[in-house]
Amino acid sequence: MALEDAKKQVDTAITRDGMKGPSFENTFSGLPTFLRRTFTKDLSGADICVTGAPFDQAVTNRPGARLGPRAIREASALQSPDAPYGWGYDVMSDFAIADYGDLAFDYAAPADFPAALEAHIAGILAQDCAVVTLGGDHSTTLPNLRAHVAKHGPLALIQFDAHTDSWPDDDPARVDHGTFVYKAVKEGLILPEKSIQIGIRTTNDDPMGIAIVDAPEVHRTGPERVADRIREVVGDTPAYLTFDIDGLDPAFAPGTGTPVWGGLSSAQASAILRGIAGVTLVGGDVVEVSPPFDHAGITAMAAAHVAVDILSLWGWTRRR
Instruction: Domains for the chain: give ranges and CATH numbers.
Output: 2-316 (3.40.800.10)
pLDDT at 16: 87
> Are 273 and 226 in contact, with CB atoms under 8 Å apart?
no
Q: How confident is the model at residue 176 (pLDDT cuts 50, 70, 90)?
A: confident
In terms of DSSP H, where are the helices of 39-179? 68-76, 91-94, 113-125, 141-152
* Residue pLDDT, tens place only, 124-140: 999 999 999 999 999 99
Burial per residue of 213-231, b for 16 or more beta-carbon CB atoms within 10 angstroms, e otherwise: bbbebbeeeebeebbebbb
Query: Is the N-terminal amide bond of 136 cis, ω within 30° of 0?
Result: yes
Give 84's DSSP letter: P
pLDDT at 4: 64
pLDDT at 1: 53
Taking Cα atoms as reference points, which of 219, 215, 195, 199 lies closest to residue 207? Answer: 195
> Are 89 and 83 in contact, with CB atoms under 8 Å apart?
yes
Give 153's DSSP letter: -
28 sits in the region (left: phi over 0; alpha: psi -120 to 50; else beta) called alpha
Q: Residue 318, SS3?
A: coil
Angle of helix 298-316 relative to helix 266-275, nearest 10 degrees, comes to: 10
Q: Residue 156, SS3?
A: strand
* Residue pLDDT, tens place only, 231-254: 999 999 999 999 999 999 999 999
Give the separation between CA 199 and CA 208, rounded to whole angstroms: 17
Share of the chain above pLDDT 90, in %: 89
pLDDT at 8: 78
In terms of DSSP H, where are the helices of the chain? 2-8, 12-15, 68-76, 91-94, 113-125, 141-152, 180-186, 215-221, 223-234, 266-275, 298-316
Select the highest-mean-pLDDT range: 26-35, 123-132, 169-178: 123-132
- The phi and psi torsions of 261 (rounded to 5 degrees) equal -75, 165
